Structure 1
Amino acid sequence: MLQDHEDLRALIRTIPDFPKPGVQFRDITTLLLDARGFAATIERMAFQIEEKPDLVAGIEARGFIVAAALAQRLGTGLLLIRKDGKLPGETIAEDYALEYGSDTLTMHVDACAPGARVHLVDDLIATGGTALAAARLVRKAGATVAGASFVIDLPDLGGAELLRQEGFPVRALVTFPGA
């Protein structure tokens, strides 16, 4: 296995100035199109998880793709963490700040049992606001965040470090400098 995951990095496309000028958007859709690359991504993410969780939680939207495959690989259930208004039935919610405003994440009130060990998954960690809101939502349900995995970390934006400061083990396969 390539420890630096350069093979996976080569499959991730960078789109300059999206969604706004100055942002270098790291697009995993090109990685997902490559069957071997996608399979290697899931295998390597699974390998980094030291203790099997009860659930893998995917954060909307690209996190669903990675989390679903990882949950299947680990033999766990899949918990969906969605934007407000997307889930039917009773939900619990967690508000979080964005660069220009705020948003809300939700999950079904009965999605995980108190005490369950939940592993958070998303395609990318940047500032950490969404991931931290997801972690707080899981905690609000009485479950424990066992860790968090990302395909990509943008360490200059501090999100992974923010989660580590909250006590969560954080893993990412590749890093990219800048925003």
Structure 2
Amino acid sequence: MTAVPQQGLQDLLASRIRDVPDYPKPGVMFKDITPLLADPSAFGALTDALAELCARHGATKVVGLEARGFILAAPVAIRSGLGFVPVRKAGKLPGATLSQAYELEYGTAEIEVHAEDLAPGDRIMVIDDVLATGGTAEASLQLIRRAGAQVAGVAVLMELGFLAGRARLEPALEGAPLEALITI
């Protein structure tokens, strides 16, 4: 792993995130990470930074949240020498699952994990692209703990601070760290 100084990393990552106004609906400024993923230097630096967080917090497995969390978490798991566990939308995983419902702005959603993929003694680093309102991350922490595993931490590429997801997530973290490489 090649370390990039923190400010240099933030500048590199931010420079590769494209703003798309009025997507997916008017008034929303979508943060498109596909230019970052297309740049092997930036994507590599992101992977290294997230893998370093896994090592720092003693993770033994990496959970990726559907869908863009998969893109980030899988290479982090490989780089870290850890297993990767997908947390999916309900109904997407075969076999026995644990599920957790959570509140959306309008309605509810549900996520699932294979029951056998997380076990007591596992220390899980949850990885996603964006921390927005915190609902999906909060539900994933509940799933991890119901499986008997511990939360090593939550790491995201970017936190949308104006949506107050951190405040919502703090109680569910139960002292585990929340790391955002960029805060907008």
Regarding TM over 0.5, the answer is: yes
Deviation, 1:21, is 1.5
Q: Distance in 2 between matches of 1:119 and 1:158?
A: 21
1:47 alignment counterpart: 52
* Cα distance per residue 1:95-147 (max 9 Å; x no partner): 00111111000001111112311110001000000100111111111111110
Q: Equivalences for 1:61-80 in 2 at 5 Å?
A: 61-80=67-86
The 2-side partners of 1:165 and 1:103 are apart by 20
Q: 1:173 is matched by which residue type in structure 2?
A: L
Aligned residue for 2:6, secondary structure, equals coil
Distance across 2 between alignment mates of 1:155 and 1:2: 23
TM-fit CA distance, 1:57: 0.1
- Is residue 135 of structure 2 the alignment partner of residue 105 of structure 1? no
Paired residue total: 176
Q: What CA distance in whole angstroms lies between the structure 1 residues aligned with 2:177 and 2:116?
A: 25
Q: Distance in 2 between matches of 1:58 and 1:7?
A: 23
TM-score (norm 2): 0.91
1:153 partner letter: E
Decide which of 61, 79, 83 is 2:89's aligned counterpart: 83
- CA distance, structure 1, for counterparts of residue 20 and residue 179 of structure 2: 24
Q: CA deviation at 1:27?
A: 1.1
CA RMSD of aligned residues (A): 1.2
* Equivalent-residue separation in structure 1 for 2:83 and 2:53 (angstroms): 18
Pairing 1:6–2:14 present: no
Matches within 5 A, 1:1-179: 1-4=4-7, 5-49=10-54, 50-166=56-172, 167=174, 168-176=176-184
Structure 1-normalised TM-score? 0.94
Q: Shift in Å at residue 51 of structure 1?
A: 2.8
**Structure 1 unaligned regions, length at least 5:** none
CA contact (8 A) 2:57 2:153 kept: no
Structure 2: give runs of 5+ residues left out of the alignment.
Answer: none
Give the deviation of 1:175 after TM superposition. Answer: 1.6
Post-superposition, which runs of at least 4 consecutive aligned residues in structure 1 deviate over 3 A?
none
Overall identity of the aligned pairs, in %:
44
Structure 2: how far apart are the matches of 1:76 and 1:17? 38
Mapped to 2, the partners of 1:164 and 1:65 lie a distance apart of 25
CA–CA separation in structure 2 for the residues paired with 1:101 and 1:23: 19
